[in-house]
Amino acid sequence: MNYIEFEKSLKIFPIFSVKDIQKRFPNFDSRRLVEWQKKGYIVKMKRGYYCFDGQKKREHFLYYAANRMYAPSYISLESALAHYNLIPEGVFLTISVTTKNTASYDTFSGNFEYRHLKPTLFFGYKLLKEKEYTIRMAEPEKVILDYFYLNKLNSEDDVEAMRFNEVLVAELVDLDKLKRYQSVFNSKILDKRIRMFLNVTDA
């Protein structure tokens, strides 16, 4: 098999796995992957996952790649807060939550981090469609809960230091949904932190 045939078959995938290759080419010689990497045709994202060198490594590609490389997962925490413009700082990691173990990957296109959530808390995400990408992204209410559940913010000063955009909090966060989702966590520590968040943001 030549590279042109390979690219034509797999170019529909922004990121593709060895399993994707084997489904289309059962007798594929994996040595071709090393050869094509050396020639600059493809780039290794992590073990078993690749993309074509011409793939644009913009934000939505990174979100999609994060979903794909370590599943099940969805974009949350600082990455989702920044996506919704709920915090002013840019985020230089693509951060997700997963039911798997905590993990991190440093790749040519960016750094990826995954924080563990138990399976009963793996909900509250939506499918965000951006051009050729379909991305699993935390809803605004869930990203706030994920963030305060997984990070130790023990005072209102800690919350204020996050500089939440109060206007967008009021616009994007459904307080009834926040309360429903919060009850699933069944955490007194989280309840305390969310009270601080609501006080600070006047929500």
Task: Give the chain's mean pLDDT.
Answer: 95
How many angstroms separate the CA atoms of 11 and 42, rounded?
A: 11
Please state the pTM of the whole predicted model: 0.93
The DSSP 8-state label assigned to residue 121 in this structure reads: G
**What would the pLDDT profile of 140-195 be if each residue is shown by its tens digit?**
999 999 999 999 999 999 999 999 999 999 999 999 999 999 999 999 999 999 99
Q: Given pLDDT bands bounded at 50, 70 and 90, which one contains residue 34? A: very high
Sheet order of strands, 16-17 included = 16-17, 49-52, 42-46
Alpha helix segments (H runs only) across 136-187: 140-150, 156-160, 166-172, 175-185
Among residues 84, 43, 41, the alpha carbon closest in space to that of 65 is found at 43
Section 108-135 average pLDDT: 93
Which residue did the predictor score with more confidence, 54 or 162?
162
Query: What residues contact residue 8 under an 8 Å CB cut-off, 6+ apart?
Result: none
Predicted local confidence at residue 89, as pLDDT: 80
Closest to 137 measured CA to CA, from 127, 145, 148: 127
Report pLDDT for 91.
82
pLDDT of res. 109: 81
CATH topology assigned to domain 59-201: Beta Polymerase; domain 2 (3.30.460)
In this predicted structure, the answer to whether residue 36 has a pLDDT above a threshold of 80 is yes
